[in-house]
Structure 1
Amino acid sequence: MRRAPTSVEIFLSYAQADEPLRAELEKHLAGLRRERIIEAWHDRKILAGADRAREIDARLSSSDVILLLVSPDFIGSDYCYDVEVKEAMRRYEAGAARVIPVLLRAVDWQAAPFARIQPLPKSGRPTCSAADRDEAFAEALHGRGAGLDEAESIRALLLGLTEAVATADVPTELQKITIVEKDEHAVPRIRDVIDDHWSDEAAARRILVPWAYELSIP
């Protein structure tokens, strides 16, 4: 039986003052969520009666991707900066999670721990500085070679394949996967995503056979 791809878990780290912008951004992730490519989580999903700090820590520790929604309030928040950013960078340095700064509002963030990471939008212009905010969010998250669609779709499929191998849902004789990509410009980006996934120590430990792959253009 064919297994559905495993969703990539995304943690949204943001300042409470930016909740309306977080909600706008999340709408632009709806397509990926409906296709079960991603599962986005933030603190508003904590159930009544749950231990808030424990829930946040658990999600932050398990997410595949951590989006840092950067703004003056985010940089100024002791909790965001000292707790969430610190844990995000620890996991980033360990190769356990991707960390992506998303520039919401203009602020000097060049001294932040995540300053060396390529942000979205790639132009470096905050989404709120754009005349059309929806267009800015769409370009940041889904723009050609810049957004989440391509990388996270591939990662979701790779996670599903890795899980299938770990649970013996695919033949043990499998040694090679062929991926055909129509867009020649996408090939280098896809190769980077695949190589990054297979080089991840945690993912490698779940693989029972030494896979090889071929990436070609029809």
Structure 2
Amino acid sequence: MLGTYNEPISVFLSSAPEDEELLKKFKTSLRSLGDIICVWADSDINLGQEQTKEISAQLNAADLILLLISPDYIASDHCNKVMQRALQRRSSKVCVIPIILRHGHYMNVQFHGLQTLPGIDKPITSREWSDSDEAFQYVVTGIHKAIEELLKSRHVQVTDQPDLTTRVLPPLHEEYVLPEVPLSALIARNPRGCFFKVKWPSIIVIFFIITTLSIIAFAHIYPAPITVMITPNNNTLNDNYLITAVTGVPNASQGQIQARVFSFTTPPQSKTVGATGIMQKAGVKAIGKLTFYNGMTTDQTVPIGTPFYVHGVTVVNLVDAQIPAAVPPMMGQITVPAQAINVGSDGNVAALAINQPCCSSNNTIFVRNLSAFTGGQDDLDYTFVKQSDIEGAASSLDQSLTPSARSSLQTQVHSNEALIASPQCAKKVSSNHNVGDRVDKVDVTVVITCTGEVYDKQALEKMTTNLLKQEATQKLSANYVLVDNMVKTKVTRITVVDSVKGMKTSAD
């Protein structure tokens, strides 16, 4: 309901000359308030002796004083005098509102403490507004509220049906049509474009009598309507339900909904990396045995380390060879350990490669290797496959394959479904060489398989909605109806028992 009034609210606008363009836009925005206000601005006349008196008169007669604040306004002596007088007039029946047009330092200005529009930190020209029209509309809304408070201070009657002699304060954003007044010839306009009553006593008395008779007749013909406001009672009901999601055929009577398991496997993707294992192995000398034969009837000795040459390989005995004397027709003999002097596989001489007389001037000692020398190995440097080589290549492939697999899996979720949990992804790694193999490079292949499980989200919401409605019917009277036909359902816990998903839901 809106208040009715007999006279418009007198509005006084004070601004600096530098803000003329903003003043024009503001006056245009004020037109949305209709005829409830009568606007006069101190910029409408030039300053002078008589003009100053006119400004003072309008300021003293104003019900609502709007100060358009800017740095130029604060710097103006004339504007400061107007502001001082406005603040002196401030009371329950005279409202003063500073309108902040532009940014400035206003903390020490004398209007500090008043409620400003739209605000010191958000003036009309602030970039936080889409344009000045939006900002001024916000200000007009605040002015509209201030006018309502002024009307209340006048003890204005509040009614649903306005009488024929008054005008109604229109709400913002609604078209306001001025009621037709039969005695419009008795109303004139002053230079500000505001309505006022002509002070002719006889005409006023006649006008009052006619208006009173019209109100009485109208009241008998059209009784005032009675407004009845009904406030419905409301009640919020919430509960928890255990719903089971099964991958088989669900039974709704047992609180079951459909679930399904699905997966996506990426095509194999390979990567070749170099083997980083390095082995450095020292060579080994070949070892064997030498058999010495003695043709003399006295003992003979071959000292330790005696060299024997064969095919560029030097072999020495490792101990003294003390050969017993010959017992004709048998020669004395002894077998002792021996080894190649140099490291390498060349020392692996074949059996009987050494078969020659030695060690005496009369050739009575003979030496043979009855078996081959073995164990000789060359110095060895080589690369081999390490576990980290395979794992590094697999990790690199995983970084690109797993997100792709998850994305492809997500496309399999239907519009009525929701994931029970985050999909689980497994990685399968294979390679063409094993760890420890002596190779320069290895090919690593990775396959990612992601598995997800979903439940029927729409069936869950429908089931919990029906359960909550049934509970509401039991706990509340049948007169209650569901607001906006909406029930909020939230899954609070999911428990897996023998591959069956039990979901605890909360419904409001």
TM bucket (normalised to shorter chain) is: 0.5 to 0.7
1:103 aligns with 2:100: yes
Q: Does 1:126 align with 2:123?
A: yes
**Matched residue, 2:144:** 149
Contact 1:9 1:40 in 2 (8 A): yes
Cα displacement (A) at 1:98: 1.0
Match in the other structure for 1:22: 23
Look up the equivalent residue of 1:75 and give its one-letter code: I
Per-residue deviation, residues 56-88 of structure 1 (Å, max 9, x unmatched): 00011110111110101001111101x101101
With structure 2 as the length reference, what TM-score do the two structures score? Answer: 0.29
Q: 2:97, 2:117 within 8 Å by CA — same for their partners in 1?
A: yes
Cα offsets for 1:107-156 (capped at 9, x unmatched): 111111111001001474011113311011101221xxxx1223314534
Letter of the aligned partner of 1:77 in structure 2? S
Q: Conserved in 1, the CA contact under 8 Å of 2:45 and 2:51?
A: yes
- State the alpha-carbon separation in 2 of the partners of residues 14 and 57 from structure 1: 15
When structure 1 is superposed on structure 2, of 58-67 and 115-124 the one drifting more is: 115-124
Name the counterpart of 1:39. Answer: 38
The structure with higher relative contact order (CA 8 Å, sep 6+) is: 1
Confirm or deny: 8 A CA contact 1:6 1:157 kept in the other structure.
no
Partner SS state of residue 96, structure 2: strand
Contact 1:122/1:140 (8 A) holds in 2: no
Q: Distance in 1 between matches of 2:118 and 2:131?
A: 14
Flag the 1:20–1:217 CA change in 2: closer, same or farther, 3 A: farther
* Cα distance, 1:105–1:49 mapped onto 2, change above 3 Å: closer
Asked if the contact 1:4/1:160 (under 8 Å) is kept, the reply is no
The 5 A counterparts of 1:1-218 are: 5-32=6-33, 34=34, 36-46=35-45, 51-81=50-80, 83-92=81-90, 94-95=91-92, 97-122=94-119, 124-129=121-126, 130-142=129-141, 147-153=142-148, 155-156=150-151, 159=154, 161=156, 218=229
Which of these two proteins has the greater Rg computed from alpha carbons?
Answer: 2
Q: How many Å separate the matches in 2 of 1:58 and 1:154?
A: 24
Alpha-carbon distance in structure 1 between the residues aligned to 2:68 and 2:75: 12
Give the letter aligned to residue 107 of structure 1.
Answer: G
Residues 1:107 and 1:47: Cα distance change in structure 2 (over 3 Å): closer
- Answer whether contact 1:43 1:56 (CA < 8 A) is retained: yes
CA distance in 1, matches of 2:40, 2:153: 21
SS of match in other structure, 2:10: strand
CA–CA distance in structure 2, aligned partners of residues 115 and 95 of structure 1 = 18
**Mapped partners of 2:228, 2:109: distance in 1:** 40
Aligned length: 158
Indicate how the Cα distance of structure 1 residues 158 and 7 shifts in structure 2: closer, same or farther if over 3 A, else same.
farther
Distance 1:217 1:51 in 2: 56
Over the residues paired in the alignment, what is the CA RMSD in angstroms? 3.0
Return the letter of the residue paired with 2:144.
D
Query: d(CA) in 2 for partners of 1:11 and 1:20?
Result: 17
Equivalent pair of 2:93/2:150 in contact (CA under 8 Å): no
TM-score, scaled relative to structure 1: 0.63
Shift of 1:39: 0.8
Corresponding residue for residue 174 of structure 1: none
For 2:130 and 2:158, locate their aligned partners in 1 and report how far apart those are by CA, in whole Å.
43
CA contact (8 A) 1:9 1:39 kept: yes
Question: Identical aligned pairs, as a percentage?
Answer: 32
Structure 1, gaps ≥5 residues long:
162-176, 181-215
The residue type equivalent to 1:8 in the other structure is I
More strand by share: 2
Residue 80 of structure 1 aligns to which amino acid in structure 2? C
